[in-house]
Amino acid sequence: MIKPSLFSLRLKVRDYECDLQGIVNNANYQHYTEHTRHEFLLSRGISFARMHAEGYDPVVARMTMHFKQPLRSGDEFVSTINLRKEGIKYIFLQNIYRAADEQLVFTSEVTTVVLYHGKLHDCTLLRDLFASELSS
């Protein structure tokens, strides 16, 4: 069952993402979660590319991933996001569910910080934006 989330994105496995084991190569889950975070930001009016152009770079400091079941060629899936703030860190809780049976296939916790011209920064833009959405 798909748990409630702040944002979700439905995607489909692309065959080139599968490796010689016939399943989605693990590194692609990192791609999926990154893409979901960027689409989440976009849905709130923030472009990752524009942030970079303006000197702000959100970066991942730490990431924990659990691979529960493999996605395969043809699978559609739902990638979800929840978010909490700890000090200057934004921690994204990101799950992936197979669409066909809503089985949880992947969970992750992604700890990010924002750099401003390369230095750690308490990005007020994101803080204000997420003020009402952050879990406590």
Residues that bind a second copy (CB under 8 A): 14-16, 18-22, 25-28, 30-31, 34-35, 38, 42, 47-49, 52, 57, 59-67, 70, 72-74
Nearer to a second copy, 53 or 131 (CB): 53
Q: How far apart are CB 6 and a second copy at their closest, in Å?
A: 19
Q: How far apart are CB 120 and a second copy at their closest, in Å?
A: 13
Q: How far is 111 from 83, CA to CA, in rounded Å? A: 10
The count of C-alpha atoms lying within 13 angstroms of the C-alpha of 94, restricted to the half-sphere facing its C-beta, is 26
Is 19 part of the annotated catalytic residue set? yes
Q: How far is 113 from 76, CA to CA, in rounded Å? A: 30
Q: How far is 25 from 86, CA to CA, in rounded Å? A: 31
Please check whether residue 75 is in contact with residue 100, taking contact to mean a CB–CB distance below 8 angstroms. Answer: yes
Q: How far apart are CB 57 and a second copy at their closest, in Å?
A: 5
Q: How far apart, in Å, are the Cα atoms of 109 and each of 14, 39, 83, 93? A: 24, 17, 9, 5
Nearer to a second copy, 19 or 102 (CB): 19
Nearer to a second copy, 63 or 88 (CB): 63
Catalytic residue among 15, 19, 75, 122: 19
Catalytic site residues? 19
